[in-house]
Amino acid sequence: MVDLTSTPILVTVILGVVGLAIPAIDAGRRERGIDRNKLYSAIAFGALAVAMGIVIFKVFTGEVLPAVAFSEGVLVDDLFGSFFAIALLLVSLMMTASSWNYWKGRSNPAAYYSLILLSSIGMVLIAYSTDLVMLLVAWELMSLPTYALAGFAKRDPVSNEAAIKYFMFGALSSALIVFAIGLVYGMTGTTNIGDSVRAMTNLDASMMPVGLLAVALFIAGFGFKMGLVPFHMWLPDAYEGSPATIGGLLAAGTKKAGFAAALRVIVLGMFALNADWTLTLAILAVFTMTIGNIGAIMQRSVPRILAYSSIAQAGYIMIGIALAPYSDQALSGSLFHIINHAVMKSAGFIAVAAVAVGLSAYSLEKYRGLAKRMPITAIVLSISLLSLAGVPPLNGFWSKLVLFGAAINAGPLVEWGPWLAIAGVLNSALSLGYYAWIMRKMYMEEGPDMSKVKEPRAIVAVLVFALVFMVGFGIWHAPLLEFASQAVPDLSFMSGAAPGPLGR
Amino acid sequence: MVTEFFDAINVWLIWILPFAGAAIIPAIAKGSKSARNYIAVGFALASAASAATLIPTALAGHEVHSQVSWISALDLKAGVLADPLAIIMTNLVAWISFLIMVYSLGYMHGDRDLTRYWFFMLFFIGSMQLIVISDNLLMVFFGWEGVGLASYALIGFWYHDRKKDYVGVEGHRAGGIAMWTAPTHAGMKAFLMTKAGDVMMLAGMFLIFAYAGTFGFKELLADQGWAQAMAAENLLVPAAVLLFGGAVGKSAQFPLNEWLLEAMTGPTSVSALIHAATMVKAGVFLVARIGPLFFALSALNTGQFFEVVAWTGAITAFLLATQALVSPEIKKVLAYSTGSQIGYMMMALGIAGISLNYVDGYTAGFFHLMSHAMFKASLFMGAGAVLHTVHSRFMTDMGGLKKYMPKTYMFMLLAALSLAGAPLFTSGFWSKDAIFAAVLESGYSQAMPLFIMAVVVAVMTAFYTFRMIGMTFFGGKSKHVEKIEHEGHHVHEVGAVMWVPFGILAVATIIVGVSGFLFEEQLHHLFEEYLGESFGIHEAAPATERVFLNLNPVAAAASFGAFGVGAALGYVFYIARKADPAAIGRNIVTRGIWTFLYNRWYLNTALYWGGVIGPMAIYRFIWRYFESTIIDGINPAFQGAMTYMSRWVKGSQTGITQTYLFVFGAGILIVVMLLLL
């Protein structure tokens, strides 16, 4: 029996009702003169804010189960889910608020906001799922609206191409996930994640290859959303081609939902299989960050740079997942970096949206002299890029510190652990190559037109919020890290790892 | 965690408020200029009020300690510690800073860049409060660097480098080095020289951290295993001396004293803030903060550390007092005097650690810090008022101002008497006397040389103080004053917004002076309890027999005598003008001494040749023969490699969906194979 007052249900009801009501209202209204975009933006923002408020309220009142819990039902109201719900709703909130300006004068605002809300439900439910079927349903609920959103500019061939590519790979990955779920069900006779993990621990040795195949399919299926190399090829095209706010939603939101699913299924499932799987993820992590960074260096379009950068960032997050059994800080580092990256990358894409509104341009050449033309946008974009690169004292530095520190501390248990930290540090240095390049264009060069451009007000508000978040949690990151470390299970017992010298 | 923060919110606010004020000042400046000025002062007042709420805690001998987790990966906590020491200091800083902010309303009136001024003043106060109120060395260091940054920005505040903002006599060179300095240069010099101390402090801090695993003062005291481990490797005293290196830089002690004089290029209100409440006092406070800790460890032979402190202080006191004798600029006289008086404080805090009665020396040093803060702030603001009126920094351009600026004259005289140590009714007398007594009673084998140096410095102090007052306010009007009067400037008293702040401080120094021995006793009592409870430091033996008003007879006689001799000489030369100081120039020996002192013992010259010109030549060599050949040779290769790889990745991103699907499929196979590995 589902508890109707639990967080995921409340969020689903609120966002679902409002998400369905917006098109209904739109169908009923025909009078001119009212800016429909602003109206729906405000409604959607309000609904998301209420949902966010409920999640935070539930966390503070302690009605939420600690860490990762399993249940007999299909959903569980635990801290892990709430952590992701906060991060994901934050992204949706920022995107809806900036759409107040960005979506002005574009087609079909009702459908646009409705789809964002429905996709948000999917993202949040993924984080709370404890059943593979529920997870699949939530996965589809998250993905289907975003296919439509990616191709929302229907007269724009680039947007259409983005949507088609995204959809093809989405369909492929969904098929792989269904296949993997089928294999798990065949082996264990249940779709409940907790039960199947328990059943897999006693798996007959002859079934092991099938179990590994299921894991591989899960990695491929979720890895598509997470942007892992080699499942990343669609990603730059889709992020760049989509409208900027949707690019942000994909990079900062759905990508994180992919991590939530992966953490729920792959990591826990693999513990059960007890295979030497961590090296696989570590290799994927190194390739992901390196290919992402190298790919970004020569790009000429800012959203495309951000897309490649988000591939690289997925690699950093993977460090924590690969090292989960060896260090008690690895997973909390991953979660910490996930919420940081959600805000940093959203800020980046929203800054791109602001430039798109102000200058109708995406190309790096058009960013020349931006510091004079759109000072707030330029400074927030710069700070978010620095934070992505991991420059202290911004929040991105601290999550990277925790991740790399975990990798070094894992040294006594796995000899390749420290190499992940070295790869991460070298990649961070490399990434400054293109982050600093953008800043150089904005601050040190001058374009042909240096006239001041009005910065859209709602977007400025969101950017300032992101700035406060990045700098504030950079100076005092303890609350966020504490939240993250409470939301992850302590897996170190699996390999008998002692708490690292960094301690907790 | 959050509740702990709010329970001690008044302590946190002491340093948070000035920073918050600094942050919003630029925004307010967009709206209203006058609102900006008053809000800046308001934030200083709010911080001071927050500090004042702690006074009952200090009087009751309690303390407030509040911590929140900060960098959890290293188990570091951010915290505030309001113990009696910190509470007295924070109130001193807050209220004097507030008065200086009020004074700034008048002094800086009409300056074009006031937003920057208020921003950095508040930033300065906030950083200083962070130093005072933090419970660990790491946060202290943040404040420490904040103070350094703010001082750099404020010393170089008038960055247009107009001639009138320089210090030093134009054309004066010593050993090939120009002795007159532009504001921007002075700011940089202050920043870099204090940085030399900061690096030492950082090394000392982390040395201790490496052994103790904590920066917290409380934690360092609670578990002293780290100290034993360090002492076993002979690292304890070096670490302490390195920490003291930070204090040497910040407090302008020998050999890092040269920046303090050039720091006079800033607005006078800034000088007052640097010399009275913030910056230079940070070093003394640091020694007062860590001193008891190292004294509590005296079983581990930490006495050497205190010897270093005491001698550094004594040398600085002497060095700078001699230079003050010959300076022609009013603010520079005061600057030399600050360094010299800080030397006294260091001497007292150092001698405390060598003697049996730690509390005596400690009280003396801190008492002198308090009284110096009051009279020096007052003197600087008074000097600022004079500068404001006569538009010149040279005392030879003043003279006879007594009847034009009666209030400034009166208050400056009171504060100056305190600096000179006029017996029985000035705070400076009591605190200086306490230092003499502490040195005499220390039982330190080299106490006598220290004592003699201290007395000689006291004679010189009285002399240069009277010289300054005499040259500024007595005698006839100088040519410069006549000239500006002729040009139509009316030489007049400054407004109330300026004289009230330094008037308050001048009167306060006399009130403390009149009740001097009571005040000292109270302070002594407070510190006795504080040191006893927190550090287990107790009075080892009853103090030596004392007579009238609890004075040590020898020390008191020396204080009276030093003031008498110095003041009499000063009076004869500069107030009564019975003898002509120009006579110095006629004798080859006195002239030689004069030149030596006027060229600042050639320390500045040595500093520039050894610290600037020499290294620059080496760097140029390295650049020429290493960087431009080797490094510049490697860089393009690296760049080329990255470009090549990036092209390759870009090339694989064909845009053709079939390729993508192929890679995806291959990826699944690779993952399966990796898993089966």
Closest CA to A108 of A196, A22, A194: A22
**Beta carbons of B191 and B199 less than 8 angstroms apart:** no
Q: Measured between alpha carbons, how far is B239 from B257 in angstroms, rounded to an integer?
A: 22
Where are any strands of DSSP class E within A365-426?
A: none
- Each as own residue / partner, the long-range contacts of residues B16-21 (CB below 8 Å, 24 or more positions apart, any chain) are B16/B126, B17/B43, B17/B46, B17/B47, B17/B50, B17/B126, B18/B43, B18/B44, B18/B47, B18/B122, B18/B123, B18/B125, B18/B126, B18/B129, B19/B122, B19/B123, B19/B126, B21/B46, B21/B47, B21/B122, B21/B126
A230, B664: Cβ pair inside 8 Å? yes
**Phi, psi of B423, rounded to the nearest 5 degrees:** -60, 145
Q: Nearest by CB to A277, which of B645, B649, B675?
A: B675
A210 touches chain B (CB under 8 A): no
SS3 of A92-143 = HHHHHHHHHHHCCCCCCHHHHHHHHHHHHHHHHHHHHECEHHHHHHHHHHHH
B662 touches chain A (CB under 8 A): no
Q: Measured between alpha carbons, how far is A48 from A38 in angstroms, rounded to an integer?
A: 15
Q: What is the mean pLDDT of chain B?
A: 87
**Which of B72, B648, B662, B669 to mutate against chain A (most A CBs within 10 Å)?**
B72
CA distances from B571 to B398, B410, B575 (A): 17, 17, 5
Q: Measured between alpha carbons, how far is B324 from B467 in angstroms, rounded to an integer?
A: 10
A502, B660: Cβ pair inside 8 Å? no
Q: Is the pLDDT of residue B639 over 90?
A: no
Distance from CA of A502 to the nearest CA of B (A): 6
Distance from CA of B244 to the nearest CA of A (A): 27
B650, A276: Cβ pair inside 8 Å? no
**Which positions of chain A have pLDDT values less than 70?**
1-2, 30-33, 66-70, 268-276, 489-504
Cβ-Cβ contacts under 8 Å, B1 against chain A? 479, 482
Q: For residue B263, what is the DSSP state? A: G
Return the bridge partners of A75, or none: A129
**Phi, psi of A74, rounded to the nearest 5 degrees:** -95, -20
A299, B650: Cβ pair inside 8 Å? yes
Give the tens place of pLDDT for each residue, B439-492: 888 888 888 899 999 999 999 999 999 999 988 888 888 888 888 888 877 778
**Which of A166, A226, A234, A297 to mutate against chain B (most B CBs within 10 Å)?**
A297
Amino acid at A486: Q
Q: With left for phi above 0 and alpha for psi between -120 and 50, is residue A208 left, alpha or beta? A: alpha
A294, B72: Cβ pair inside 8 Å? no
Residue with tokens 């002399």: B463
Between A150 and B171, whose confidence is greater? A150
B645, A275: Cβ pair inside 8 Å? no
Q: Read out DSSP for A160-214?
A: HHHHHHHHHHHHHHHHHHHHHHHHHHHHHS--BHHHHHHHHHT--GGGHHHHHHH
Q: Measured between alpha carbons, how far is A108 from B325 in angstroms, rounded to an integer?
A: 83
Q: Please report the pLDDT score of residue A499 as a whole number.
A: 38
Cβ-Cβ contacts under 8 Å, B677 against chain A? 276, 279-280
A172, B661: Cβ pair inside 8 Å? yes
Q: Please report the pLDDT score of residue B550 as a whole number.
A: 63
A220, B670: Cβ pair inside 8 Å? no
| Tally of residues, chain B | 677
Weakest mean pLDDT among B86-95, B322-331, B581-590: B581-590
The pLDDT-based confidence of B102 (bands split at 50, 70, 90) is: very high
Q: Which two tokens stand for residue A341?
A: 């990256």
**Beta carbons of B58 and B132 less than 8 angstroms apart:** no
Q: Is the pLDDT of residue B233 over 90?
A: no
Q: Which of residues 260-319 of A touch B (CB under 8 A)?
A: 275-277, 279-280, 283-284, 291, 294-299
Closest CA to A268 of A490, A416, A455: A490
Residue B20 CB burial class (10 angstroms; 0-12, 13-18, ≥19): middle
β-bridge pairing B76-82 and B173-174: unpaired
Q: Please report the pLDDT score of residue B131 as a whole number.
A: 93
pTM of the predicted protein model:
0.76
Give the tens place of pLDDT for each residue, B523-569: 888 888 888 888 877 766 555 555 455 677 888 888 888 999 999 88
Amino acid at B572: V
B658 touches chain A (CB under 8 A): no
Between B123 and B360, whose confidence is greater? B123
Cβ-Cβ contacts under 8 Å, A421 against chain B? none
Q: Measured between alpha carbons, how far is A98 from A92 in angstroms, rounded to an integer?
A: 10
Output Rg (C-alpha) for chain B, integer angstroms. Answer: 28
Q: Please report the pLDDT score of residue A256 as a whole number.
A: 93
B635 touches chain A (CB under 8 A): no
Q: Is the pLDDT of residue B624 over 70?
A: yes
**Beta carbons of A84 and A256 less than 8 angstroms apart:** yes
A298, B643: Cβ pair inside 8 Å? yes
Q: Which two tokens stand for residue B607?
A: 């500093």
Distance from CA of B646 to the nearest CA of A (A): 5
Closest CA to B258 of B618, B615, B599, B614: B599
A402, B73: Cβ pair inside 8 Å? yes
The chain A residue lying nearest B78, using CA atoms, is A476
B664, A220: Cβ pair inside 8 Å? yes
CB pairs under 8 A between A and B: 104
Q: Measured between alpha carbons, how far is B254 from B474 in angstroms, rounded to an integer?
A: 34
Distance from CA of A73 to the nearest CA of B (A): 31
Q: Read out DSSP for B558-600?
A: HHHHHHHHHHHHHIIIIIS--S-GGGGGGSHHHHHHHHHHHTG
Q: Is the pLDDT of residue B100 over 80?
A: yes
A350 Cβ contact list (under 8 Å, min separation 6): A94, A95, A98, A244, A245, A248, A459, A462, A463, A466
Residue with tokens 């807050």: B94
CA B10 vs. chain centroid, Å, equals: 25
B663, A219: Cβ pair inside 8 Å? no
Residue with tokens 């915290």: B79
Distance from CA of B651 to the nearest CA of A (A): 9
A401 touches chain B (CB under 8 A): yes
CA distances from A79 to A64, A65, B192 (A): 6, 6, 49
Cβ-Cβ contacts under 8 Å, A485 against chain B? 72
Q: Measured between alpha carbons, how far is A421 from B605 in angstroms, rounded to an integer?
A: 49
Distance from CA of A51 to the nearest CA of B (A): 24
Cis check: omega of the bond before B501, within 30 degrees of 0: no
Mapping DSSP to helix (H, G, I), strand (E, B) and coil, where does residue B323 land? helix
Return the bridge partners of B68, or none: B78
What integer is the mean pLDDT of B131-135?
91
B664 touches chain A (CB under 8 A): yes
Q: Please report the pLDDT score of residue A271 as a whole number.
A: 66
A359 touches chain B (CB under 8 A): no
B631 touches chain A (CB under 8 A): no
Q: Which two tokens stand for residue B199?
A: 């690096």
Percentage of chain B exceeding pLDDT 90: 28
CA distances from B385 to A375, B45, B267, B408, B492 (A): 41, 23, 11, 7, 10
Q: Please report the pLDDT score of residue B278 as a whole number.
A: 82
Q: Please report the pLDDT score of residue A47 as a whole number.
A: 94
Q: Please report the pLDDT score of residue B402 as a whole number.
A: 84
**Residue B449, number of CB atoms within 10 A of its CB:** 13
Q: Which of residues 45-104 of B touch A (CB under 8 A)?
A: 68-75, 78
Q: Measured between alpha carbons, how far is A132 from B673 in angstroms, rounded to an integer?
A: 25
Amino acid at B362: Y
B653, A233: Cβ pair inside 8 Å? yes
* Torsion angle of the four alpha carbons B16, B22, B24, B26, in this order, in degrees rounded to the nearest 10: -170
Q: Which two tokens stand for residue A3?
A: 């508890």
What integer is the mean pLDDT of B105-123?
89
What integer is the mean pLDDT of B597-624?
89
